[in-house]
Amino acid sequence: MKTISCPWLSPTVGCCLAFGWLAGWSVSAQNFVRNPDFEDPLGPDNWTIVYTAVNGGGANAPTNCGPFDFLVAGRTTMAHKDMVPGTWDGDPYYWSKFGGHFAPNHSWLMHAYFKQVVRGLKPGSNYVCSAWMAQYTRNDNYLTKAEVYMETLGGPGRAVVRRTPNVYGNVNNDPAAWQRYVVTNTASENGEIEIRLHYNKNGSVAETWEYRNQNAYYDHVAVVPEGQSDDMPPYYITAFVRTNQEILLAWETVMNNKYRIQVSRDLADPNGWSWVRWSPYLDTNIHAPGTNYLFRTNLLSLFAYDPTFDPNAPLFFRIYAERYVP
Amino acid sequence: MKTTVPPFLGKLGWCLALVAAALPLAPETARSQELLKNPDFESPFPVSDPTAGWALVYADGGPSDFAIAGQSTEASRCCGGRGAHLRPNNWNFAHAYFRQVVTNLVPGARYTLTIQKMRAGFQNYVDNDSLRVYMAALSGSSSNVVAGNATNNGPYSLTITCAPSGQIEVRLHMWKRSMTNESSEDMKHAKCSAWFDDISLTQTP
């Protein structure tokens, strides 16, 4: 646990004290992928979708696919991989709901991939690139109709290509079929590795509507330094300001690590800490997008769920952190 | 549809071929000139201005009533390209069409509209008139129509006389005219595609 000095506030509204609290102190590594779990909307600062030519598929294979060729080309809850496959990531760990998802929109052929250029790496260093991937279909005969795989481009000029085998695991009624695929590549001279998560459907299906029963899922994508065993450094709460019922709380973060806020009214009571839950229907986990996080809220709103909340009583906060698990 | 240059024709070969073709046929060139924009549907569409390319009109229903209303690989006639594709997204009625207006034509002249692929996805519905896939040309108060089916691509042609306005409007329709009785194992609406590719409008010699 890490504590910092208590910033005294107006004596009329009591004292608010903030702490940082480390948890999950075990083997881990910093993940440099932005939006690795597809929890945030896709965009140019994380994943983009590239429509491209079909590899294989014969002489008339499409050379230029497009959005209408895909029923799904984005993120869905259907494509989410639970931390323990088959066990729903329910409260209090329901912070990850989405996954990357491709599904065809017709019986013919198409090819697209999620693309992200992972930056901020050490040029020339090796990185372990991984993704959980699976197919979902009610007919195993369809599994070979599509090539589902991860491709990484690293090395000088990002010309060194490393790719996983094709994914043939079918998670329909078999969550254990989710598999983590791993390749190692080297950061380019600019400190970059490009990640591509492919869906290349190069075989057609005769039944008109069976395209709806073909899906490719991707989740928990990671690029971590090879050999790094831990990345949960001590962290500090860098700002804590209360103005009447408005509070501002900022702390240092590791990108992609998870954070939650705990509150107590009595610092002397070790059992007095509880999770802040601004609504029982909203997630209370905070997913760090960078190296600092700024949390700002109104206390009355924050504790609207608690009828015993006294805005004039002392309040103490601490920040709980969990490492990213690829 | 996507086409490629024959590899045996170098630059010189192309020049000679073009000169040879242009000299004796110059008077015919205007007549045989392709008048439609994006006739192979390879360039992006729909566009907002129907004189600039293929625009999209929802005649019955809206964007969410259509699973596909634009380019797809499945609609391509051949050769790895794309074609124009309309497909309903549910069991209810659905009607949309791609539209292009060609201007500066010769009033009173005859024009030929030809499409190499115009295909419906579900012949049963074509047979009982629940699904109409057709191509229309309109000019002034005149119009002409030809319909496709699910058994072959075509080609299909029609002719029309240009009105004093000097304009001809071309429409490519998918009209699902009945509610479908379906189940998750037989999603008939997913069969009701309309595919179009490689269309041409030229002045009739």
Kindly give the confidence (pLDDT) of every residue in chain A, 326 residues in length, as a single tens digit, with 9 standing for 90 and above.
232 333 333 322 334 455 555 444 334 568 999 999 998 999 999 999 999 999 998 888 999 999 999 999 999 989 999 888 888 776 555 567 899 999 999 999 999 999 999 999 999 999 999 999 999 999 999 999 999 999 999 999 999 999 999 999 999 999 999 999 999 999 999 999 999 999 999 999 887 788 989 999 999 999 999 988 766 788 899 999 999 889 999 999 999 988 888 889 888 998 988 888 765 555 667 888 889 999 988 888 888 878 888 888 888 889 999 888 88
Q: Whole-angstrom Cα distance, residue A59 to residue A56?
A: 8
Q: Is residue B9 part of a domain?
A: no
In a domain, B25, yes or no: no
The rounded distance, in Å, linking the Cα atoms of A102 and B100 is 32
Domains A2-27+231-322 and A48-225 agree in fold:
no
| Structural domains of chain B, count | 1
Q: A205: nearest CA in chain B?
A: B74
Strands (E), chain A: 2-3, 16-22, 48-51, 70-76, 99-104, 110-118, 126-136, 146-154, 160-163, 179-186, 193-201, 215-225, 237-243, 246-252, 258-264, 274-275, 286-287, 292-298, 315-322
The whole-number pLDDT of residue A141 equals 92
| CATH of segment(s) A48-225 | 2.60.120
Q: Where are the domains of chain A?
A: 2-27+231-322, 48-225
B4 located within any domain = no
B contact set with A (CB within 8 A) = 2, 42, 67-74, 76, 78-82, 85, 87, 121-122, 186-187, 190-191, 193
Q: Is residue B132 part of a domain?
A: yes
Neighbours of A2 (CB within 10 A): 16
Q: Which CATH number do you get for residue B49?
A: 2.60.120.260
* pLDDT for B196: 98
Q: In terms of CATH architecture, what is A2-27+231-322?
A: Sandwich (2.60)
Three-state DSSP at A51 gives strand
Q: Which residues of B8-32 are buried (b: 16+ CB within 10 A; e: fewer)?
A: eeeeeeeeeeeeeeeeeeeeeeeee
Give pLDDT, residue B22. 38
Looking at residue A97, its pLDDT comes to 82
Q: What are the start-end ranges of the E strands in B49-193?
A: 55-60, 66-72, 83-88, 94-102, 110-120, 131-139, 142-147, 156-161, 168-176
B26: tokens are 């110059």
Is B12 a domain residue?
A: no
Cross-chain Cβ contact B69/A68 below 8 Å: yes
d(CA A319, CA A288): 12
Min Cα separation A56/chain B (Å): 11
> CA-CA distances (angstroms) from residue A94 to A39, A80, A257, A293, A301?
11, 11, 14, 20, 21
Question: B131 CA to chain A: closest CA distance, Å?
Answer: 16
Is B21 within the bounds of a domain?
no
Cβ-contact A275, A252 below 8 angstroms:
no
- Inside any domain, residue B24: no
State whether B186 and A209 contact (CB < 8 Å). Answer: yes
Backbone φ/ψ region at A222: left (φ over 0), alpha (ψ -120 to 50), beta:
beta
Residue B6 lies in a domain: no
Alpha-carbon gap, residue B13 to B8, rounded angstroms: 8
Task: Find the domain containing B184 and state its range.
Answer: 30-203
Contact A153, A194 (CB under 8 A): yes
Which of B71, B85, B187 has its CB closest to that of A209?
B187
Spans in chain B with pLDDT lower than 50:
4-28
- Residue A135 contacts residue A181 (beta carbons within 8 Å): no
CA–CA distances in Å: residue A274 to residues A5, A149, A259, A319? 21, 42, 14, 11
Closest CA in chain A for residue B69: A68
Contact A15, A8 (CB under 8 A): yes
